[in-house]
Structure 1
């Protein structure tokens, strides 16, 4: 697989998307009666010689832990214009979301399907590093970016509910 799609976390480096997907599938299979939220989000930081983007993937078993990984993307361009930077963050989130093809999503959903009546669920969320607050400079881009993620069948989240982008990925952009 292309080196562009290499992921890591604190315990493993250089994972392919197929390894990530297999781990998510395993994670869900350990307790298919639970509620799951698969979250993808990207944040960025302008560096001296360009812009660093970090995309996080987090699978959350509600009330019972998470497993997460991330991928780094760096450009030599300093993306100073806010719309350009937010657009690129959204694009990188969409790019990873596309790896979860309808067939892959269906396989994950099939794991929890027998337990739907017992409260099991599976949701896919896209986390955007934008907010609707009056003082937030990104508020004018919220609807545009949310509609892009919804086009991929994702539930779009913004600050303060978009912690994969605004907290997890943010931590690694520095």
Structure 2
């Protein structure tokens, strides 16, 4: 599995974890939070999913990494939102398995979901947030879900 960093290029999961750890060590007294969010875009050819990992140094900027996946077109919005959430949660599990669990437990971890009170996705808020919180993570929705609705969204096309 490969991730892309705007500053460091293509990275393996292990390299990304090392970059994250180094960024956290640059200013260990600063407040940080780790954000994972996924967004998608569907065309007639495929649905592109982008999962972003954001290390936010609160009030002092952030670093981010992202991964793109293309799948057959998914036209059903509900199915796509569930898949986005599944990709974010799967990434957390992968990062834990790769040794990032100490970093994930030391700093607040948020799962950002590209749903909100406006539009078609508002009917999904209760069930998607319930799913994320039931597995032990903080769920953020629009307008607080910048990891999905801004960072990941930027790379879906």
> What TM-score do you get using the length of structure 2 for normalisation?
0.92
Residue in 1 aligned with 2:79? 84
Following TM superposition, by how much is the alpha carbon of 1:94 offset from its aligned partner in structure 2, in angstroms?
0.8
Equivalents in 2 of 1:33, 1:70: separation in Å? Answer: 26
Q: CA RMSD in A?
A: 1.7
Which sections of structure 2, spanning at least 5 residues, go unmatched?
A: none
Residue in 2 aligned with 1:63? 59
Equivalents in 2 of 1:42, 1:73: separation in Å? Answer: 11
In the alignment, is residue 98 of structure 1 matched against residue 83 of structure 2? no
Following TM superposition, by how much is the alpha carbon of 1:65 offset from its aligned partner in structure 2, in angstroms?
1.5
Equivalents in 2 of 1:25, 1:72: separation in Å? Answer: 23
Equivalents in 2 of 1:107, 1:54: separation in Å? Answer: 22
1:35 to 31, 34, 45: 31
2:147 to 164, 168, 172: 164
Of 100-109 and 65-74, deviating more is 100-109
Equivalents in 1 of 2:104, 2:154: separation in Å? Answer: 28
Q: Secondary structure at the match of 2:10?
A: coil
Equivalents in 2 of 1:154, 1:28: separation in Å? Answer: 20
Instruction: Report Cα offsets for 1:27-54 as digits up to 9, x if no partner.
Output: 1111111111100000000023110000
In the alignment, is residue 14 of structure 1 matched against residue 10 of structure 2? yes
Following TM superposition, by how much is the alpha carbon of 1:146 offset from its aligned partner in structure 2, in angstroms?
1.2
Residue in 2 aligned with 1:123? 108
Of 158-167 and 97-106, deviating more is 97-106
Residue in 2 aligned with 1:117? none
Runs of 4+ in 1 over 3 A off after TM superposition: 107-110
Instruction: Report Cα offsets for 1:99-126 as digits up to 9, x if no partner.
Output: 232863324655xxxxxxxxxxx21000
